[in-house]
Amino acid sequence: MQFPLERPAERQIYTISQLTREIKTILESSFPPIWIEGEISNFKKHSSGHMYFVLKDENCQLPVVMWRSHNQRLFFIPQDGMKVLAQGNLSVYERRGQYQFEIIQLQPAGIGELQIAFEQLKTKLREEGLFAEDLKKPIPRFPDKIGIVTSPTGAAIRDMVSIFGRRFPGVELILAPVRVQGEGAAEEISRAIKDLNQFGAVDLIIVGRGGGSLEDLWPFNEEVVARAIHDSRIPIISAVGHEVDFSIADLVADLRAPTPSAAAELAVPNRDELIDIVRNNMGKLDRLVRDKISYYRERVGNLENSYALRRPSDVTKQYQQRLDDLTRGLEIQYSYKLNFHKHQIENLQKQVISLSPQSILSRGYSLCFRDQDGKLVKLAKELKAGDKVRIQFYEGQAKGKIDETLPGKDFQSSEPLPEKNEG
């Protein structure tokens, strides 16, 4: 049996784009903004800032997109395996013909969004070492100037000023006014910390505010504030909220105070307690001086009654006798040295006299000079017959003329020539 073919004019033919747009229109108009719950999987954040992931339960999964304009308001970073509640709209991605969920709001299921953001940032900064104890700077014992980063109209600044005035009125306070909650507060707090460091004339900085909800205190959990505290060259006390409140700023700061009032008490000593300490020390010093005076008075009394002071003349005589002994010893040493050097001088004089020309001439020697030039004649060959000579004797001189010179070294004398003195 054959069926007749339907003529094209009698049926509607859709293009893929037309069909996808009709499905998109029907689907998106049929579902108003809804909340869904699921587990995040395949999370990716594109370089454009948009987030893409899958929400799934035990049976099904749904592609999800969260545009940058919406995810910029998130306090936490979505992660695979995290259960979340998402509000948004169903839509169709026409290019793939795939339906998806466009998220407007996203929050953790069970635990709060801010708490997750707190834990994520705490983990990140701890791994970077910003909480390390060896990085904590010591708090000065007696600061002259203290910078305070807080709201100028809050109760925190009034409480701190009151406590400073009562405990240590001499300290100078420098207020860096900032907003402590709301949008832009974290940036103002960070900028104030940097300004006080650049100013440099403060010894200590207190950063904080009074109590409030987690949302109110959130600026002190921002990364920009944590890094400003970490980079500060000046020691910082964090004083955020009440004693039960705990912030990222508390973990990074050099010291945590449970409240702003407690921070003021930790920052400066109590003047009255210092006065008591000074008075106690003065009393101890007075007793110590009195004890020393008594001790030395007793020693002086013992010396007054000692043998040396009772018989001063005897002690003087002992030292006089000792002085005489030393004097005699010096005189003997002096006399010995004097005689020794005197004998040395006499011996040297005798040697000088014995080696003088006159002494040699006195033993029968003479000196012969050639008359024409006055030169001393040492060798016979320096003369020739007919030369006139002058002869020097021990006493007097004689002149003559050479008849003949004889060669050789013959010399006859009852007394040898003196040896040359090498000294």
Instruction: Dig out the tokens for 312 from the structure.
Output: 């001063």
Q: How confident is the model at residue 362 (pLDDT cuts 50, 70, 90)?
A: confident
pTM: 0.51
Over the chain, what is the mean pLDDT? Answer: 85
Q: Tens of pLDDT along 364-396?
A: 888 899 988 888 888 888 888 888 889 888 888
Place of tokens 């002994």: 325
- 3-class state of residue 376 by DSSP: strand
How far apart CA 398 and CA 344 sit, in angstroms, is 39
Distances (CA, A) of 249 to 17, 73, 172, 206, 219: 55, 21, 24, 11, 9
Surface-to-core class of residue 313, CB atoms within 10 Å of its CB (0-12 exposed, 13-18 middle, 19+ buried) = exposed
How far apart CA 125 and CA 5 sit, in angstroms, is 73
Whether 423 shows a pLDDT value over 70: the answer reads no
How far apart CA 153 and CA 196 sit, in angstroms, is 20
Q: What's the pLDDT score for residue 137?
A: 95
Domain ranges of the chain: 16-110, 133-269, 358-401
- Percentage of the chain beyond pLDDT 70 is 91
Higher-confidence residue of 96 and 262: namely 262
Average pLDDT over residues 280-284: 91
Question: To the nearest 10°, the Cα dihedral for 268, 270, 276, 282?
Answer: 20
Whether 236 shows a pLDDT value over 60: the answer reads yes
Q: What's the pLDDT score for residue 422?
A: 45
Spatial neighbors of 267 by CB under 8 A, at least 6 apart, are 139, 143, 146, 164, 171, 204, 206, 237
How far apart CA 8 and CA 418 sit, in angstroms, is 163
Contact (CB, 8 A) for 271 and 300: no
Whether 288 shows a pLDDT value over 80: the answer reads yes
Pairing between β-strand 255-256 and β-strand 236-240 as defined by DSSP bridges: parallel
Distances (CA, A) of 105 to 2, 33, 74, 181, 325: 58, 11, 9, 22, 112
State the sign of the Cα–Cα–Cα–Cα dihedral 95, 96, 100, 103: negative
Higher-confidence residue of 285 and 113: namely 285
Average pLDDT over residues 150-157: 94
Question: To the nearest 10°, the Cα dihedral for 29, 33, 38, 40?
Answer: 90
Give the H/E segment covering residue 209: strand 204-209
Residue in 37, 221, 207, 54 with CA at minimum distance from that of residue 123? 221
Q: At what angle do helices 155-167 and 260-267 cross, to 10 degrees?
A: 30
- 3-class state of residue 73 by DSSP: coil
Q: What's the pLDDT score for residue 416?
A: 52
Strand partners, 236: 205
Contact (CB, 8 A) for 148 and 157: yes
The domains spanning 16-110 and 133-269 adopt the same CATH topology? no
How far apart CA 381 and CA 389 sit, in angstroms, is 14
Name the fold adopted by 133-269.
Rossmann fold (3.40.50)
How far apart CA 54 and CA 158 sit, in angstroms, is 51
Pairing between β-strand 51-56 and β-strand 61-66 as defined by DSSP bridges: antiparallel
Whether 3 shows a pLDDT value over 60: the answer reads no
Place of tokens 């009151």: 162
Whether 421 shows a pLDDT value over 50: the answer reads no
Instruction: Dig out the tokens for 402 from the structure.
Output: 């050479």
Q: Tens of pLDDT along 25-35?
A: 888 777 888 89
Whether 413 shows a pLDDT value over 50: the answer reads no
3-state helix, strand, coil in the chain (%, to 5): 45, 20, 35
How many alpha carbons lie under 13 Å from residue 414 in its C-beta half-sphere?
A: 2
Instruction: Dig out the tokens for 380 from the structure.
Output: 């016979």
Whether 170 shows a pLDDT value over 80: the answer reads yes
Q: What's the pLDDT score for residue 158?
A: 94
Name the fold adopted by 16-110.
OB fold (Dihydrolipoamide Acetyltransferase, E2P) (2.40.50)
Highest mean pLDDT among 236-240, 300-304, 406-410: 236-240
